[in-house]
Amino acid sequence: MSEDILSKIVRMRREDIERLGLNFGIEIPERRRGGHTEFLGNAGAILEVKRASPSKGDIAPDLDPVALATTYAEAHAQAVSVLTEGNFFKGSLRDLIAVADLMERRRQQGLHACAVLRKDFLLFEDEIDIAYRCGADAVLLIARILDDEQLVKMARRAQKFGIQAFVEVREKDDFRKLNLVLEALGDAAAKTVVAGVNSRDLATFHTDPLVPASVRSKLPAKAVFESGILSAGDAAYARSLGFTGILVGEAVAKNPPLAKEVVGAFEAGCENARGKFWKKFAERKVLKHIHASSNVTCHCEEQSDEAIFGKNRPLVKICGITRVEDGMLAAELGADMLGFVFSTTKRLTTETFVRSFKERLLRLARNDNQNACLACSIPLLVGVITDLNSEEGKTAIKLAQEGVLDAVQFHGIPTPVLSKQAPAQSNQACHCEHEVRSNLYPDIPCYAAVRVGEASDFEQVANLRKNGEPRILLDAKVEGIPGGTGKTIPESLLREQTSDLPLWLAGGITPENVGTICEKFHPELIDVSSGVEDAPGIKNHEKMRALFATLS
């Protein structure tokens, strides 16, 4: 079995320590020269001094750490993360010392000073001592590379020096280790431990913005969304999930002027309905994979790595529900989402129908003793709209705001996007997402569906990603018909244009072709409407059964 990137980094680092010592041949101050700034004392951004990475190679090889850290401080970042790993990130303890000295000078001058994080693949307790003497206010401890005893010892050593332990988690066992640290440090943990979840898998360096969403509820109050923040939209998305901080590397190291925009977007936001929807979806994805692989009713707390990241069957949305019996069968068969069309088509539904259906679904699930977990047994309900200003569209938005619908799908129409951010140093109260975004859009749980028929249509997909959308549904474009056309997206477009994000796919999916589509494109979610119908809005129960049987 080949060595993954993380294992290679750790192995080479051990070899360097054996050859050069824990100081890597660099002269370390005998004692700490400056004061201390609490790491993430307030919600905000942690911006990185980063020259290179294993996945991208050189990012900013000629950066001046002091100049870059000054830019970050002037943007009112809460902290500066200094990479000190040399082989793959081209960092150094010299960078840490220089940035820490800069922040001490700024403190003495009465200027905004950021906390300083030593970011490295630390393995030994004495490395905490070195980080402290170099001026670090916090140290990164990666749970994945440390055993229980060593992680706790290193967190306690950080506590002894009065600096924070930033514990990074991602895999199932990491959360167990984090809890050991929190228990070991007791009441002091609230001040001395910050948790972070990396959207990037350090073994493969693949990034997925839904991974932090899936585990936010398992983290303590102070938690950081790490990696994958490339724009102000991404920062607003992370804040909408309820994270206290974001750690941003490549984007601001390559483009320092972006720092102010990213900081402003994060600080202007707050946890909101959009973020709650994405957490609900991400958690459901995890639970569904657990149940699919365990053949038991419910082990919702027993997360496995395969459950979170493995490729099992796609999640399924059955759209265009107009009859109770169709929706109930879809739920019974295991649909993850049900779509209700609030647009003037033959699949148009009503507020009364959706309210009644939701009540019936909840009542049935509560009475079914075999389903111990409502989060798994009840599909998410989505209102599909094609016109924001129509009465139908307004009705769907109202139902989503009330919680009757779990989300609104903006289908082939402009979706909420970021507008100008409030200044990072503003002392205003929380600007919820509808204030950060255009004032035309209320704070609602939502996602976007883009109709694609040619390469230029993917420009809208790219813009949505830039504005922080973690998933975008792709549907086949047919002029004059908003959806449910029975047409598929040309395969050549999907192969050439889809990004590295998991695919949400609609358009022409049937029981006959779903197996081939899944084999070719491995979608995370498929959206099926006309492919299981006898007529628009009239589902064929045998076709639905055949669809789910093919996916089982």
Instruction: For residue 409, list its beta bridge partners.
Output: 384, 447
499-505-511-513 Cα dihedral, nearest 10 degrees: -40
Q: How far is CA 169 from the centre of its chain?
A: 14
Q: In angstroms, rounded to a whole number, what is the distance separating the alpha carbons of residues 474 and 471?
A: 10
Q: In angstroms, rounded to a whole number, what is the distance separating the alpha carbons of residues 49 and 80?
A: 7
Residue 245: what pLDDT? 98
Residue 370: what pLDDT? 52
33: nearest Cα among 79, 85, 76, 96: 96
Contacts of 92 (CB under 8 A, 6+ apart): 24, 26, 84, 86
* Helix boundaries (H) for 241-350: 250-254, 258-268, 273-294, 305-309, 324-333
Residue 291: what pLDDT? 56
165: nearest Cα among 40, 6, 33: 40
Instruction: For residue 129, list its beta bridge partners.
Output: none
Contacts of 248 (CB under 8 A, 6+ apart): 45, 46, 47, 48, 229, 235, 259, 262
Residue 349: what pLDDT? 97
Is 275-417+435-551 the same fold as 5-20+36-271?
Answer: yes
Q: In angstroms, rounded to a whole number, what is the distance separating the alpha carbons of residues 3 and 420?
A: 45
- CA distance readout (Å), 517 to 338, 486, 541, 551: 21, 14, 21, 11
Other C-beta atoms lying within 10 Å of the C-beta of residue 209:
24
15, with CB counted inside 10 A (0-12, 13-18, 19+), is: exposed
Instruction: For residue 348, list its beta bridge partners.
Output: 341
Q: Tell me which DSSP letter residue 366 carries.
A: H
Contact call for residues 44 and 82 (beta carbons, < 8 A): no
CATH topology for the 5-20+36-271 domain: TIM Barrel (3.20.20)
Whole-model pTM? 0.89
Residue 271: what pLDDT? 93
* Domains of the chain, residue spans: 5-20+36-271, 275-417+435-551
SS (H, E, C) 451-508: EECCHHHHHHHHHHHHCCCCCEEEEECECCECCCCCCCCCHHHHHHHCCCCCCEEECC
Q: In angstroms, rounded to a whole number, what is the distance separating the alpha carbons of residues 50 and 65?
A: 9
Other C-beta atoms lying within 10 Å of the C-beta of residue 290:
23
Maximum distance among all Cα pairs of the chain, rounded to whole angstroms:
79
| Structure tokens that stand for 185 in this block | 């440090």
pLDDT in 10s for each residue of the chain, 552 residues? 578 999 999 999 999 999 999 999 999 999 999 999 999 999 999 999 999 999 889 999 999 999 999 999 999 999 999 999 999 999 999 999 999 999 999 999 999 999 999 999 999 999 999 999 999 999 999 999 999 999 999 999 999 999 999 999 999 899 999 999 999 999 999 989 999 999 988 777 788 999 999 999 999 999 999 999 999 999 999 999 999 999 999 999 999 999 999 999 999 999 999 999 999 999 988 887 665 555 444 444 444 444 443 456 899 999 999 999 999 999 999 999 999 999 988 999 999 999 999 999 998 877 765 555 555 678 999 999 999 889 999 999 999 999 999 999 999 887 654 433 333 343 334 434 333 333 334 478 999 999 998 888 899 898 899 889 999 999 988 766 666 567 888 888 888 766 677 899 999 999 999 999 999 999 999 999 999 999 999 999 999 999 999 998
Residue 421: what pLDDT? 39
Residue 304: what pLDDT? 42
Contact call for residues 265 and 236 (beta carbons, < 8 A): yes
Contact call for residues 389 and 260 (beta carbons, < 8 A): no
CATH code given to domain 275-417+435-551: 3.20.20.70
Tens-digit pLDDT profile for residues 405-449: 999 999 988 765 443 333 334 333 443 433 333 333 447 899 999
